[in-house]
Amino acid sequence: EAKKRKANSYNVFSPEMERTSFKNFELQNDLHKALLNDEFELYYQPKVLSNKRQIVGAEALIRWNHSTRGLVSPGEFIPLAEESGLIVPIGEWVLENVCKQIKAWEESGYPRLEVSLNFSALQMLQKGLVDTVKAILEKYQVEGKSLEIEITESLILNDDGDLLKKLEDLKDLGIRIAIDDFGTGYSSMSYLTKYKFNTIKLDRSFIKDIHTSTDSQAITKFIIQLSNQLKMKVVAEGVELEEQFSLLLEMNCDEIQGYLISKPLPVHQFEQLGRFSSFI
């Protein structure tokens, strides 16, 4: 009987699970106050051209400075924000702050960077999404071409029929659309011809092993070739080693993002990093 229970251990509510769910319950509650208390912050991680190591863009990644727990990772709280629907106002906060930042950089005379930000499925499925985005761009006087929106394959699985039109409307504003964590979802490749993304972000799970596994190398090479042929830009995420970098360069990967170049950084540190457009 005990053995049987062990085999079905996912049915058992362990003390560990109890702790996790209590923590999540608390985090869920605190999340409501986090926006009001100004506890969120955006970090920026640079993207470089793989043939020059020149910074050409950055991904904005949210951080939560929790009053008692310290820094809580988005991997932990974004799923909770999605469950409660709070991801919608949080997502708007992210977009506003990215636009504010782009404007500030523009006004201080920095070369233009393309800034990407992540949109959750629930956020993308909002009816008035395109109008909201348009209003925020206008409010901060930011051009759509300064922005790239990263979405994931899960969104395509949840497409309610409006997605294609929405993506086209966003592209009409000059915004670029990237498919994030490419290759990790369950959807078919045929959607690449349907949605016409501007950018493919190769997931870290492939990059992790490219220097040791010929399989990962083959898949990565294949996806890069496919992207080139479909006229999409390819960005490799999670590049940590020089070996990985040079393999990706050989494979004609356009841009590189990862700890090898830099971790995501608070704004003032990001600004110091090579003072933009310089080479690292």
Residues in contact with Mg ion by CB under 5 A are 118, 150, 180-181, 237
User: Is residue 70 a contact residue for ligand C2E (CB under 6 A)?
Assistant: no
**Rounded least distance, CB 186 to ligand C2E, Å:** 17
Tell me the three state secondary structure of residue 163: helix
127-166 mask for ligand C2E (x: CB under 6 A)?
A: -----------------------x----------------
Q: How far is CA 266 from the centre of its chain?
A: 16
How many other C-beta atoms are found inside a 10 Å radius of the C-beta of residue 91?
24
**Rounded least distance, CB 47 to Mg ion, Å:** 11
**Rounded least distance, CB 77 to ligand C2E, Å:** 9
**CA–CA distance, 179 with 58 (Å, rounded to integer):** 15
List the one residue from 20, 29, 73, 225 that touches ligand C2E (CB under 6 A): 73
Supply φ then ψ for residue 137, to 5 degrees.
-60, -40
User: Is residue 237 a contact residue for ligand C2E (CB under 6 A)?
Assistant: yes
Per DSSP, 263 falls in state -
Is 201 in contact with 167 (CB distance < 8 Å)?
no
Is 88 in contact with 31 (CB distance < 8 Å)?
no
Residue among 5 and 266 whose Cβ is closer to ligand C2E: 266
**Rounded least distance, CB 223 to Mg ion, Å:** 14
Name residues contacting ligand C2E, limited to 196-235 (CB under 6 A). 204
Choose from Mg ion, ligand C2E, none: what does 74 bind? Cβ within 5-8 Å by kind. ligand C2E
Tokens of 52: 């020059």
**Rounded least distance, CB 18 to ligand C2E, Å:** 25
Tell me the three state secondary structure of residue 75: helix
Alpha-carbon dihedral angle through residues 189, 193, 198, 200, given to the nearest 10 degrees: 10
Name residues contacting ligand C2E, limited to 21-50 (CB under 6 A). 45
**CA–CA distance, 87 with 117 (Å, rounded to integer):** 13
- The residues that touch ligand C2E, with contacts defined as CB under 6 A, are 45, 61-62, 73-75, 78, 91, 94, 117-120, 150, 180-181, 204, 237-240, 257-259, 264
